[in-house]
């Protein structure tokens, strides 16, 4: 997966805070997804309501998560890697959106509100 390294680093820092992980900022996408998947497995088995709350707070599509769970059940595989990937992708979208918004800010003070 090709993406700006600083976006992945920021996502790793966010995952550390949000999911109480200890992931290096210099982590690869695959390792981040794997470690997040393990944490999701723990959260879901302990407190499903906490998992649902986290998804809501992160702003992940409930329909997409339901589809992943249904597909995983049909294939008889665990859904955690796919859900972790969805969460990471959402966070990367937010980071890219913020970066784009910062670039669009006018430099002229008269243009600002």
pLDDT digits (tens, 9 = 90+) for 47-93: 999 999 999 999 999 899 999 999 999 999 999 999 999 999 999 99
Q: 27-43 pLDDT, tens per residue?
A: 899 999 999 999 999 99
Domain edges within the chain? 5-103
Cα four-point dihedral sign 82, 85, 35, 47: negative
Residues 9-35 have a mean pLDDT of 91
Q: Which two tokens stand for residue 101?
A: 């918004």
Give me the torsion for CA of 46, 51, 53, 55, rounded to 10°.
Answer: 170
Residues 88-109, mean pLDDT to the nearest whole number: 80
- Cβ neighbors of 34 (< 8 A, separation 6 or more) are 81, 84
Where b means 16+ CB within 10 Å and e means fewer, 20-32 reads: ebebeeebebeeb
State in Å, rounded, how far the first CA of the chain is from the last one. 38
Is the pLDDT at 2 greater than 60? The verdict is no
20 has pLDDT over 60: yes
| pLDDT interval class at 17 (50, 70, 90) | very high
């Amino acid at each position: 997966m090709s993406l700006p390294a600083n976006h992945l680093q920021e996502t790793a820092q966010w995952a550390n805070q949000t999911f109480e992980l200890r992931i290096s900022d210099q982590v690869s996408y695959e390792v981040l997804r794997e470690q997040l998947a393990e944490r999701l497995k723990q959260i879901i088995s302990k407190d499903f309501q906490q998992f649902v709350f986290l998804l809501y707070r992160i702003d992940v599509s409930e329909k997409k998560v339901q589809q992943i769970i249904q597909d995983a059940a049909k294939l008889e595989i665990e859904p955690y890697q796919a859900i972790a990937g969805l969460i990471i992708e959402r966070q990367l979208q937010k980071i890219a959106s913020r970066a784009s918004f910062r670039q669009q800010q006018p430099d002229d003070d008269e243009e600002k509100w």
